[in-house]
A and B are shown apart, each in its own frame.
Chain A
C-alpha cells in the first residue's frame, strides 16, 4: 500500500553506506588484490585491502633450501624487477658469510639491475596509463621494455625470472658485444623519453586525474614505512630533506663510484594544481629515475669495458709465463687478480655462517629487505629467511590516501603506488 504522505517515500530512499568490492581480478588493481570500499554515494570512507591471493610461502621455502636454490624464488617476488630481487638476497647472504665480490661482478650487478629498474619503471608508467584509461603509453613502454628483455635474454636466457645475479657475483659473464648492444639501445631509448612526457606528464587529462589526488605527507609516509619513489614523491628539497635513496645513503655494490642525482620535488615541470606528495609527483619521480638509471648504466658500461681491456692486457702479459709453468707464481697471481677484481663470480662458502643479518637494497618499488639467519651448527640451509616487501608497507597507506576521495580516484591512487602483488604476498 503506498504511503499517503509523499515525503515518506523520500525517507525510504536508501542513503546509508554501501560496501563495494573491487577485485581480486580488477585490471587496475595490478594483480590479484581485492579492495573492499565503504562508500557514501561516490565518496569513499574506508578502503580495506585484502591480500594473500598470491601467497606462495616463499619464507617457508627459504628455510628448507640452500641460499643458491632460493635465488629463483626471489625472482618470483617482484617479477617485474627480478634482477633487483636477486641482488638483494645475494647481498644479504654475502654479508652474513663475509664474502667479498670482485669489482667486475659489482659492475655487472649495477649495470643489470639499473637496466631492470628502467624496464620496471616503464611497466609502472605504462600500467598507470592503463589505470587512467589511456592505452597508448602502455604500448610505447612495452616497445622499449622488449629491447631490455631481449638484452637480458642474451645475458641469461630468461626474459622474466632471471636468477642471473647470484651469491658471489653473477652466474655468467656478459656475452661478447653486449656493451655495444646496450649502448645502441640507450641511443635508441633516450630520445623516446620526451614521448612519454608528451603522452602522460603534460597531458591535460592525465594531470586532471592525478594532480592534487591522494596527497601523502612526509610524516604519514614515514609513519607507514613507505619507501622508494612513494616516499621521494612526498619529500621537499627546499625544506632540507635528505637524498633518501639507499644507493646514496648506504651504498652497496659500489654505487658510491657513480654520479647520479636523487630527483626530489619540487619540480619546475609541476602543473598547476599539483602538490608535493600527490599521484602526479609519485609518477614523475619514477620518470626522472629512469633518466638517472640511464646515466648509471652508461657509467657502468664504461667501467666494464675498461675492466675488460685491463684484464686483456694483464692476461697477455702473464699468459706466456703461465703456459710455461701452469703452477708457478704467475698463475697464482693471475688467479688472485681474477678473484679480487676481474672475475664475474667467486665461489661462495659451502656453509652459511652462524648469526643473522638484515640487508636492504633500493629496488624500483622501494626498499626491499632480506633477513637471513644462519644456523649455529654450521649448515647450508638457513634457519630463517625473511623478505621485507616494500610494496607491503606502501600499500598499507591506501586507506589513509583514499579517505574522502571519489571511487574513480581509487585506481589513480592504487596505480600511483605501483604495487606488484607477487612481492606483497610472497
Chain B
C-alpha cells in the first residue's frame, strides 16, 4: 500500500475532514481538520490495511517571520503546524505523516494557546511528546491526562520554540542575558 493509496483511502473514508494531501512530498502527508484528528488517527492505527502502530514523533512548527521587513518574502502566512510521524510495525518500511494546521493563537487572542485534541488515548507515546510540544511550542492538547511542562520548569513563562519568544532577562535572580 503506497502513500498515494493511503491518502485515497483516508479521503474516501473521511471526506471533507481531510483538508489537504500531498503524495509526492519527501514525507507524504495528509492535513486533517483538528476536530476529526482522533478519529483519523484511530483509523490509521487499527485499519487492517494500514496498521500504523508506532507513533514516532510529534513536532510542532511555528511558521512566522518575526522580522517585519522579511515577512512579505517569507513565503508563508503565519500559522502553526503539528506533525505526527507514523510508521507501521506490520508493514516494515511504511511511513506516513498527519498534519494539523492551526492559527498561532486561539481566536487571534495573543497568549491563548491553539487547541488540538490529544491522541494520547490512541498511542501512549503521544503523552510525553504532547507535553513536550505544549512546553516548547505552545500547543494546547485538549483531553490530555496530564498536560504539564516536561523539559522546562513548571514556573517558566512562554514557549521557547515560538518565533516571537522573548528570552527572559532573569530567572529566579539568575541573569539570563
Q: Taking beta carbons and an 8 Å cutoff, which residues of A are in contact with B? A: 51-52, 55, 57, 59-60, 63, 95-96, 222-225, 227, 242-244, 248-250, 354-358, 360, 367, 369, 371, 373, 375-377, 383-384, 386, 388, 392-393, 396, 425-426
Contact = CB atoms under 8 A, between A and B. Distances in A.
Given A242-B89, A244-B89, A357-B26, A369 B56 contact: yes
Contacts of B73: 377
A371 B92 contact: no
Contacts of B74: 375-377
Interface stretch (B4-12, B31-39, B102-110, B145-153): B145-153
A360 B70 CA distance: 32
A223 B136 contact: no
Select the residue from B26, B61, B136 with max chain A CB neighbours within 10 A: B26
B75 A377 contact: yes
24 contacts: A52-B153, A57-B160, A60-B161, A223-B124, A224-B125, A225-B129, A242-B92, A244-B89, A248-B92, A356-B27, A357-B26, A358-B27, A358-B97, A360-B56, A369-B57, A384-B61, A384-B62, A386-B59, A388-B57, A392-B129, A392-B132, A396-B128, A425-B151, A426-B151
B96 to A, nearest CB: 11
Contact of A358 (B57, B128, B150): B57
A249 B92 contact: yes
B43 interface: no
A306 B55 CA distance: 41
Nearest to A397: B124
Contacts of A242: 89, 92
Contact of A222 (B54, B70, B129, B153): B54
Given A63-B161, A96-B26, 20 more contacts: A60-B161, A95-B26, A223-B123, A223-B124, A223-B125, A225-B54, A225-B56, A249-B92, A356-B25, A356-B26, A357-B26, A357-B27, A358-B27, A358-B83, A383-B61, A384-B161, A388-B57, A393-B125, A396-B125, A426-B151
Interface in B119-145: 123-125, 127-129, 132, 136
Interface bracket on B = 35 or more
A225 B93 contact: no
Contacts of B132: 392
Interface string B150-173: 111100000011010000000000
Contacts of A384: 59, 61-62, 161
- A interface majority secondary structure: mixed
Q: Select the residue from B73, B89, B152 with max chain A CB neighbours within 10 A.
A: B89
A243 B89 CA distance: 10
A338 B70 CA distance: 40
Nearest to B70: A377
A244 B152 CA distance: 33
A396 B163 CA distance: 28
A357 to B, nearest CB: 4
B63 to A, nearest CB: 7
Given A52-B151, A95-B26, A250-B93, A60 B54 contact: no
Closest 10 CB pairs of A and B: A376-B75, A225-B125, A249-B92, A357-B26, A388-B57, A52-B151, A396-B128, A386-B59, A223-B124, A55-B151
A367 B73 CA distance: 36
Contacts of B123: 223, 225
A243 B93 CA distance: 11
B26 A52 contact: no
Given A222-B89, A223-B125, A388 B56 contact: yes
Contacts of B160: 57, 60
Contacts of B26: 95-96, 355-357
A358 B86 CA distance: 11
Nearest to B90: A242
Contact of A371 (B57, B128, B152): B57
A239 to B, nearest CB: 13
Nearest to B123: A223
Interface in B65-81: 70, 73-76
